[in-house]
Structure 1
Amino acid sequence: MSRWLTTLLTCLLVQNVLAIDVNPEDETSLKNAAKTVATTMIDFYNARDSKDIPGKFDETWWEGGSMFMTLIQYWYLTGDSQFNDAIQEGMYWQKGDDNDFFPSNYSQYLGNDDQVFWGLAAMTAGELNFPEREGEPSWISLAEGVFNGQIPRWDMTACGGGLRWQIWPYQDGYNLKNAISNGGLFQLSARLALYTKNATYAEWAEKIWDWSHSTPLLRKTWVIADTTTNAANCKDHGDHQWTYNYATYISGAGYMHNYARLFPTNGTESKWLEGITGLIKTSDQFFPESGGKQIISDITCEPINKCDRNQKTFKTYFTSWLGFMSLIVPSNVTSEIMGKFKASAVAAGQQCSGGSDGKHCGIRWTKKSEWDGTIGLEQQMSVLGVLNAVLVPFAAEGPYNADNGGKSKSDPHGGSNPEGSVGPEPITTGDRVGAGILTAIFVIFWVGAISWMVVGGK
Structure 2
Amino acid sequence: MTFRLIWQFLLIASLTTALTVKENDRASFVTAAKSAASNAVSYYNDRQSKDIPGKFDGTWWEGGAFFNFLINYWHWTGDSQYNDIITEGLAYQAGDNNDFYPSSVQGTIGNDDQEFWALAAMTAAEQKFPDNPKAGAVGWLGLAQGAFNDFMDRWEYDKLTCGGGLRWQLVPTLGGYTAKNSISNGAFFQLAARLYWYSGNQTYATWANTVWDWSVQSSLFNNQTWKINDIVNIAGDCQNPDRSQYSYNYGSYAAGAAYMYNKTNGKEEKWKTGLDGILQMTWSTFYPTKYGGNIISEVICDPWARCDRDQLCFKGLMASWLSTIALVAPYTSGEVIPKLTGSAVGAGQSCTGESNNQCGQQWYAGKWDGTKGIEQEMSALSVFANSLVAFAYEGTAGPVDADNGGNSTSNPDGGGKSGEYKPPVLKDITGGDRAGAAIVTLLFAGAWIAIVLWLLRAK
TM over 0.5: yes
Match of 2:142 in 1: 141
Determine which of 196, 201, 210 is the counterpart of 2:199. Answer: 196
Does residue 414 of structure 1 match 2:414?
yes
Q: Distance in 2 between matches of 1:391 and 1:291?
A: 22
- Matched residue of 2:408: which SS? coil
Deviation digits for residues 44-79 of structure 1, max 9, x if unmatched? 000100001010000111100100000001001111
Q: Which runs of 5+ in 1 are unaligned?
A: 421-437, 444-458
Query: Contact 2:326–2:336 (CA<8 Å) still a contact in 1?
Result: no
- Matched residue of 2:235: which SS? coil
Match of 2:156 in 1: 155
- TM-score, normalised relative to structure 2: 0.86
Whichever residue aligns with residue 369 of structure 2, its letter is D
Determine which of 368, 372, 377 is the counterpart of 1:371. Answer: 368
- Matched residue of 1:208: which SS? helix
User: What's the C-alpha RMSD, in Å, of the aligned pairs?
Assistant: 2.3
Match of 2:112 in 1: 113
Q: Deviation at 1:397?
A: 2.7
Whichever residue aligns with residue 107 of structure 2, its letter is Q
Match of 1:294 in 2: 294
Whichever residue aligns with residue 258 of structure 1, its letter is N
Q: Which runs of 4+ in 1 moved over 4 A?
A: 10-13
Q: Which runs of 5+ in 2 are unaligned?
A: 427-459
Q: Deviation at 1:11?
A: 9.5
- Matched residue of 1:327: which SS? helix
Alpha-carbon spacing, 1:216–1:133, altered in 2? closer, same or farther (3 Å): same
Match of 1:176 in 2: 179
Query: Contact 1:155–1:439 (CA<8 Å) still a contact in 2?
Result: no
Match of 2:329 in 1: 329
Match of 2:317 in 1: 317
- Matched residue of 2:24: which SS? coil
Percent of pairs identical after alignment?
A: 46
Q: Deviation at 1:114?
A: 0.2
Whichever residue aligns with residue 358 of structure 2, its letter is H
Q: Distance in 2 between matches of 1:43 and 1:229?
A: 40
Does residue 187 of structure 1 match 2:190?
yes
Query: Contact 2:337–2:390 (CA<8 Å) still a contact in 1?
Result: no
Q: Deviation at 1:387?
A: 1.3
Query: Contact 2:346–2:363 (CA<8 Å) still a contact in 1?
Result: yes
Match of 2:168 in 1: 165
- Matched residue of 2:309: which SS? coil
Query: Contact 2:138–2:411 (CA<8 Å) still a contact in 1?
Result: no
Match of 2:455 in 1: none
Q: Deviation at 1:12?
A: 12
Match of 2:236 in 1: 232
Q: Distance in 1 between matches of 2:318 and 2:244?
A: 16
Determine which of 245, 256, 265 is the counterpart of 2:260. Answer: 256
Q: Distance in 2 between matches of 1:310 and 1:355?
A: 24
Rg larger in structure: 2
Q: Distance in 2 between matches of 1:225 and 1:19?
A: 39
Whichever residue aligns with residue 322 of structure 1, its letter is L
Deviation digits for residues 249-286 of structure 1, max 9, x if unmatched? 0000000111111xx8xx52x21010011001001210
Query: Contact 1:99–1:414 (CA<8 Å) still a contact in 2?
Result: yes
Deviation digits for residues 217-269 of structure 1, max 9, x if unmatched? 121210000001101101111111111000000000000111111xx8xx52x
Q: Distance in 2 between matches of 1:350 and 1:130?
A: 31
- TM-score, normalised relative to structure 1: 0.86
Whichever residue aligns with residue 94 of structure 1, its letter is Q
Match of 1:402 in 2: 402
Q: Deviation at 1:342?
A: 1.1
- Matched residue of 1:174: which SS? helix
1:112-131 paired onto structure 2 within 5 Å:
112-131=111-130
Deviation digits for residues 152-186 of structure 1, max 9, x if unmatched? 11122311100000011111111110000000000
Whichever residue aligns with residue 378 of structure 1, its letter is E
Equivalences, count? 412
1:4-15 paired onto structure 2 within 5 Å:
14=13
